[in-house]
A and B are shown apart, each in its own frame.
Chain A
Amino acid sequence: MAKEQTEKESPGVRAWAPAVALGWLVPGGGHLLLKKTGRGVLLLVAITAMFLCGLMMRGTMFTPQGEDLLTVLINWGGWVGDVCGGVLYLMTVWLGYAQPDVAGHVHDYGTKFLVTAGLLNLLAMVDAFEIARGRKS
């Protein structure tokens, strides 16, 4: 009974899924869909800038591979972070970006910028989810 009441009160998947999906594809897209224009534009600019800086620093994209546990965790974790970048990641891969992992602090920062851009987009997706569910304004 209580469960039914909770389900009636909280919006269903159709309320939040488009915002979360668009939020993954386009950084800040979920917020824009939910008419939070100012926040959506800020997220779009900040996350895209971070991703582009990572590319201009010639950061490496992770690929899901590895043999020992630590390497698997690093590569798979980094790959998930990269994929969270949405269309930025997809376009980069489609356009054939394949920077090898080379020594140097600029490349290293670039790799971190690319992964962090994806992880920040994940935070934006969670925020869009909470707004769509009515938990946040």
Chain B
Amino acid sequence: MEDKAIICKDLTKQFGDFVAVNKISFEVNTGEIFGFLGANGAGKTTAMRMLCGLSFPTSGEATVAGFNVYGQQEKIKRHIGYMSQKFSLYENLSILENIEFFGGIYGLSDRQLKEKSQELVNTLGLQKAAKKMVGELPLGWKQKLAFSVAIIHKPKIVFLDEPTGGVDPITRRQFWDLIYHAADDGITVFVTTHYMDEAEYCNRISIMVDGRIDALDTPTNLKERFSADTMNEVFYELARGAKRSDN
């Protein structure tokens, strides 16, 4: 049990007649970089919301960081990190103020906050910019900072929702260096992305189609199974038959 960051069995979310997430079952190991892929409309966000303790499942079971998604949602929130493209940090607070704010929410003591602040600012090379408003930073810096803040309390798992969307190619790779570093530190990384080359950096990938998980394996095995050269081809094979998609 200790070894699993996420355990999910027949997890389902239904809105009226519409089954957004249809009996998904999977496990994520501690320290794994797990890619959670799927076309838009496949049910990824709905599934993630349940796993982050933000929404009650309709049926099925799941534990995240050892806590139950039905009765222990607040505990889940305390033990995970979360970052998305849509929201990362407060634009009109400075870098230091954001670190203080989120660190506080995650329950860090004043002393820990001080230490972590320094460490974070130094690691990212933001010493000169520490008092600047986050809104003034280039996107790439914001994203790297947001990720670092999301793991400031060394959570068991960090959920990343399309963290590298629109970012320049060098920053994208620096971001993945940060992800690798976190995974090496024992933090499980649960990431969704539209960049198929990033799928290759994951230990395992799942691909959701129409509310179900239609594939779950290492990138190498998936490519073999679908006789594909790239993850892009695998994704295309699975996603194009979807009834629920951007089309």
Q: Do A and B come from one complex?
A: no
Residues of A within 8 A of B (CB): none
Residues of B within 8 A of A (CB): none
